Structure 1
Amino acid sequence: MTISFLTTSFPRYEGDYAGNFILKIACGIAKLGAQVEIVAPDTQDASPLSLPPEISLTRFKYFFPRSAQKVAYGTGIANRLKQKRWSLFQIPFLFLAFIIATLRSSRKSQVLHAFWSLAGIVSVVVSLIKPKPIVITLWGSDIFFLKTPILSTIFKSILERADVIICENQHFKNQLTKLSNNNIFVIPNGIDLEQFKPRDKLSARATLKLPENKLIILSTGSLTKNKGHKYLIHALSDLLQTRDDIHLCIVGSGEEHESLAYEIKELNLDRKIDLVGSVSNEMIATWLNAADIFVLPSLHEGTPNSLLEAMATGLPSVASATGGIPEIIDDGSNGFLVTPANSKEIKAKLSQLIESSELRDRLGTQARLKLESDFGSWEVQAKQLHGIYQELLNKTELPHNSMTNSMDASFKVLTVYYKHKPGGFCKRLQMKINAYLEQGWKVHYVAVELFPYKHPNLIPHILPTPFKNHNTLLFWIYFFTLAPWFTAWVAYREKVQLISIFSLAYACLCAPAKWITGSPILTFIRTMKEKREFTFGNYTIIYRLKRLLDKFGIAISDSLVANSESIKTELTELGETKVPIIYNNITESKLDRPEQRKEILKEFGLQEESFLVVTTGLLIARKNIQCLIRAFAKVDSNKAVLLIIGEGPLLKTLQDLVKQLGLKDRVIFTGWREDVMKILPGCDLFVFPSYLEGLSNSLLEAMACGLPCLVSDIPENAEIITPPQQRFPADQDETLSAMIDEVLHSSEKLEFLHNSTLEDRKRYIFNWEKKITAIAEEVVNRH
Structure 2
Amino acid sequence: MFSIPGERRGRRGDRTASGGRVSRPRVLWIGTSARGGMYGYVVAMRATPLFTRWRVGWIATHDDGSAGRRLGLFASGMARFVGQCLTARPQVVHIHSSAYGSFARKGVLLWLSSLIFRLPTVLHLHAGEFLDFYRRCPAGVRPLVRATLARADRVVTLSPHLSADVTAIAPTARVLAVRNGIALTPAPPRRDRPPQVLFLGVLVERKNPLGLLRAWARVERPPGARLRLAGDGPLRPAVEALVAELGLADSVELLGWVDAERSARLLEETDILVLPSYFEGQPLALIEGMARGVALVSTHVGGIPDLIENGVSGLLVPPGDDDALAAALAPLLADGELRRRLGDAAYEHARQEFNIEHTWHQLDALYRELAPHVRGLEPLEAV
**TM-score after normalising by structure 1:** 0.41
SS at match of 1:19: helix
Paired residues in the alignment total: 337
In angstroms, what is the RMSD of aligned CA positions? 2.5
Call closer, same or farther: CA 1:126–1:98 in 2, change over 3 Å: farther
Call closer, same or farther: CA 1:28–1:151 in 2, change over 3 Å: farther
Instruction: After TM superposition, give the deviation of residue 32 of structure 1 in Å.
Output: 5.9
1:522 equivalent in structure 2: none
Matched, 1:199 2:188: yes
Call closer, same or farther: CA 1:31–1:3 in 2, change over 3 Å: closer
Counterparts of 2:44 and 2:294, CA distance in 1: 23
Matched, 1:339 2:329: no
Instruction: After TM superposition, give the deviation of residue 95 of structure 1 in Å.
Output: 4.5
Instruction: After TM superposition, give the deviation of residue 36 of structure 1 in Å.
Output: 1.0
Instruction: After TM superposition, give the deviation of residue 123 of structure 1 in Å.
Output: 2.8
Instruction: After TM superposition, give the deviation of residue 316 of structure 1 in Å.
Output: 0.9
Instruction: After TM superposition, give the deviation of residue 105 of structure 1 in Å.
Output: 2.9
Of 82, 92, 115, the residue aligned with 1:111 is: 92
Residue-by-residue CA offset, 1:149-204 (whole Å, 9 max, x unaligned): 2653443232021011100011111111022212100110011213xx522556xx
Counterparts of 2:198 and 2:37, CA distance in 1: 17
Counterparts of 2:38 and 2:369, CA distance in 1: 30
2:245 equivalent in structure 1: 266
Instruction: After TM superposition, give the deviation of residue 350 of structure 1 in Å.
Output: 1.1
Whether the 8 Å contact between 1:37 and 1:105 is mirrored in structure 2 is no
1:367 equivalent in structure 2: 346
2:18 equivalent in structure 1: none
Instruction: After TM superposition, give the deviation of residue 31 of structure 1 in Å.
Output: 5.8
Matched, 1:276 2:266: no
Of 208, 217, 227, the residue aligned with 1:228 is: 208
2:53 equivalent in structure 1: 33
Q: Which has the higher contact order (CA 8 A, sep 6+)?
A: 2
Instruction: After TM superposition, give the deviation of residue 248 of structure 1 in Å.
Output: 0.6
1:93-492 alignment, distance < 5 Å: 94-106=73-85, 107-108=87-88, 109-116=90-97, 117=103, 118-139=105-126, 140-146=128-134, 147-149=136-138, 152-180=142-170, 181-194=172-185, 197-200=186-189, 213-239=193-219, 243-377=222-356, 379-394=357-372
Residue-by-residue CA offset, 1:650-708 (whole Å, 9 max, x unaligned): xxxxxxxxxxxxxxxxxxxxxxxxxxxxxxxxxxxxxxxxxxxxxxxxxxxxxxxxxxx
Matched, 1:4 2:24: no
Q: Structure 1 residue runs of 4+, over 6 Å off?
A: 89-92
Call closer, same or farther: CA 1:299–1:273 in 2, change over 3 Å: same
Aligned AA (1:199): P
Call closer, same or farther: CA 1:389–1:370 in 2, change over 3 Å: same
Instruction: After TM superposition, give the deviation of residue 277 of structure 1 in Å.
Output: 0.7
Aligned AA (2:208): G
Aligned AA (2:196): I
Whether the 8 Å contact between 2:114 and 2:120 is mirrored in structure 1 is yes
Call closer, same or farther: CA 1:356–1:172 in 2, change over 3 Å: same
Uncovered stretches (5+) of structure 1, i.e. residues with no partner: 42-71, 75-79, 203-211, 396-783
Aligned AA (1:176): V
Aligned AA (2:27): I
Aligned AA (1:387): A
Whether the 8 Å contact between 1:145 and 1:152 is mirrored in structure 2 is no
SS at match of 2:58: strand
Residue-by-residue CA offset, 1:524-574 (whole Å, 9 max, x unaligned): xxxxxxxxxxxxxxxxxxxxxxxxxxxxxxxxxxxxxxxxxxxxxxxxxxx
Q: Percent identity?
A: 26
1:732-771 alignment, distance < 5 Å: none
Counterparts of 1:321 and 1:94, CA distance in 2: 35
Aligned AA (1:132): L
Call closer, same or farther: CA 1:92–1:278 in 2, change over 3 Å: closer
Counterparts of 2:174 and 2:148, CA distance in 1: 13
Whether the 8 Å contact between 1:6 and 1:123 is mirrored in structure 2 is no
Residue-by-residue CA offset, 1:548-605 (whole Å, 9 max, x unaligned): xxxxxxxxxxxxxxxxxxxxxxxxxxxxxxxxxxxxxxxxxxxxxxxxxxxxxxxxxx
SS at match of 2:94: strand
Whether the 8 Å contact between 1:289 and 1:313 is mirrored in structure 2 is yes
1:23 equivalent in structure 2: 43
Call closer, same or farther: CA 1:151–1:228 in 2, change over 3 Å: farther
Call closer, same or farther: CA 1:338–1:357 in 2, change over 3 Å: same
Whether the 8 Å contact between 1:191 and 1:308 is mirrored in structure 2 is yes
Counterparts of 1:163 and 1:176, CA distance in 2: 14
Residue-by-residue CA offset, 1:481-506 (whole Å, 9 max, x unaligned): xxxxxxxxxxxxxxxxxxxxxxxxxx
Aligned AA (1:228): N
Residue-by-residue CA offset, 1:699-731 (whole Å, 9 max, x unaligned): xxxxxxxxxxxxxxxxxxxxxxxxxxxxxxxxx
Aligned AA (1:113): H
Q: Which of 1 and 2 has greater Rg?
A: 1
Residue-by-residue CA offset, 1:426-454 (whole Å, 9 max, x unaligned): xxxxxxxxxxxxxxxxxxxxxxxxxxxxx
SS at match of 1:372: helix
Instruction: After TM superposition, give the deviation of residue 39 of structure 1 in Å.
Output: 0.7
Counterparts of 2:277 and 2:264, CA distance in 1: 20
1:487-502 alignment, distance < 5 Å: none
Instruction: After TM superposition, give the deviation of residue 10 of structure 1 in Å.
Output: 6.3
Aligned AA (2:149): L
Counterparts of 1:302 and 1:103, CA distance in 2: 29
Counterparts of 1:333 and 1:24, CA distance in 2: 27
Whether the 8 Å contact between 1:145 and 1:155 is mirrored in structure 2 is no
Aligned AA (1:372): R
Aligned AA (2:44): K
Call closer, same or farther: CA 1:132–1:325 in 2, change over 3 Å: same
Call closer, same or farther: CA 1:32–1:101 in 2, change over 3 Å: closer
1:82-101 alignment, distance < 5 Å: 87=67, 94-101=73-80
Counterparts of 1:189 and 1:314, CA distance in 2: 17
Call closer, same or farther: CA 1:92–1:251 in 2, change over 3 Å: closer
Instruction: After TM superposition, give the deviation of residue 308 of structure 1 in Å.
Output: 0.9
2:9 equivalent in structure 1: none
Instruction: After TM superposition, give the deviation of residue 278 of structure 1 in Å.
Output: 0.7
